[in-house]
Structure 1
Amino acid sequence: MTASRRPENWTRRICALIAAFVAAHASYEHQRYFALNGGADPTSSAFWPLSVDGLLVLSTWPEVMSVNARESSGI
């Protein structure tokens, strides 16, 4: 059985996705609440978390891709 087809690998991936979803939801709600209490209007406070988390994803994406490239090349 190949490494990607092992049941424990799929279990880890599913658990990681669940944890990531919960963390993303908590982060969004926290930042939205912060923006509303800081004086932002409801529309701006809805987009605030997306811009902050989006910048975080964009800034870390090259590192994630370089790790994936190293793993697939066997380095």
Structure 2
Amino acid sequence: MPIDDGGNGQLTVNSPVCVDQERKVPARPAPDLGEHTEAVLGELGFDAAGLEQLRTAGAIPASRRPGADSS
């Protein structure tokens, strides 16, 4: 679900941990709700057909891959 934040994005929390001689990872926008659903399910063993079945059943939203049909 998109968040109306004026286009600035939600930033992640800055880590309080400092490791000597290591640079901190810069703050970046937090992922959108469901942004990584397909990647996580793929790592759990779901193939393209399995993901399509979940989409058809309404269990997961339409693909968020760039260029994917979002109808």
Fold match, TM over 0.5?
no
Work out which of the two has the higher radius of gyration on C-alpha atoms and give 1 or 2: 1
Greater relative contact order structure (CA < 8 Å, 6+ sep): 2
The structure where helix makes up a greater share of residues is 1
TM-score (norm 2): 0.31
